[in-house]
Amino acid sequence: MNAQGDWGRGWALVTGASTGLGEAMSRLLAARGFPLVITARSGDRLQALATELRDVHDREVRVLAGDLSQPGAAQALVDEVESLGLAVEVLVNNAGFGKWGGYLDLDADDELEMLRLNMETPTVMTRRLLPAMVERGYGRILNVASTGAFFPGPLMTVYYATKAYLLSYSQALNEELRDTGVSVTCLCPGPTATRFQRRAAMRHTSLQALGLMESASVARAGLDGLFREKALVVPGLVNKATTMVPRFLPRALLPKLVRQAQAGRSPGSPEGEG
């Protein structure tokens, strides 16, 4: 038994590990003593991170680069992990992206990739790795959603919907796994300083005026909640208050409020960085 209690007998697998929350969580997990499997599209960034983690924390790190938004990619990733004989006891489903803009203005292929990466990938990864966790009697799964999961999201319609799925999926599965030794935590951050805003083309929306949390703080809150078996983690007082809004307002009013919040701002608004 080590510093994590009954933990550290297997590997931690982090998707979307090359930047932002995934990168921060990889560092924190290595500091906790876990050997790591890290994956993302950018092989160069992953290799640099792996070198750092080996040097600083003396952890074994496997790099499996790939684009999980492509059909069959999640299945192929798990196949590779299993072929290496790696027992995954912590799964962090972090990979995901969003696109800002009117529904009819956005590219339909991009939205299909978003559906695969934000919903299908964590579902497949969990479905494939969960049975072994239950059989061993211990395991933790962290699904990274968003405060957007609590709202309908005009101007990011598909993205908000994918995060609502992930929140519902995580909470329901966590209840099913009660008394198995395995738990599922859903992390719902608000605006965070990562590369997400740039990829989503939402650099100047009024949501950024709320301020950005640092990715390291969000990652720490998520992992602390994970190991405490919390079903839901919403980091930051402003974000917690935001998720309470739907409880007090008519459902019909929420899309109007979100659309106003998503509306464009003048240049100079805060921008996330990876």
> Alpha helix locations (H) across 9-147?
20-31, 43-57, 73-83, 108-115, 121-136
Pairing status of strand 11-15 against strand 61-63: unpaired
189 secondary structure, DSSP code: -
Q: Are 197 and 146 in contact (CB under 8 A)?
A: no
> Is 138 annotated in the active site?
no
Q: Which residues have C-beta within 8 Å of that of residue 16, sequence separation ≥ 6?
A: 22, 39, 40, 94, 95, 96, 144
**C-alpha span between 184 and 173 (Å, rounded):** 7
Q: Which of 159, 160, 165, 169 is catalytic?
A: 159
DSSP 215-262: HHHHHHHHHHHHHTT-SEE--SHHHHHHHHHHHHS-GGGHHHHHHHHH
Burial class (CB in 10 A: 0-12, 13-18, 19+), 46: buried
Q: Which residues are the active-site residues? A: 159
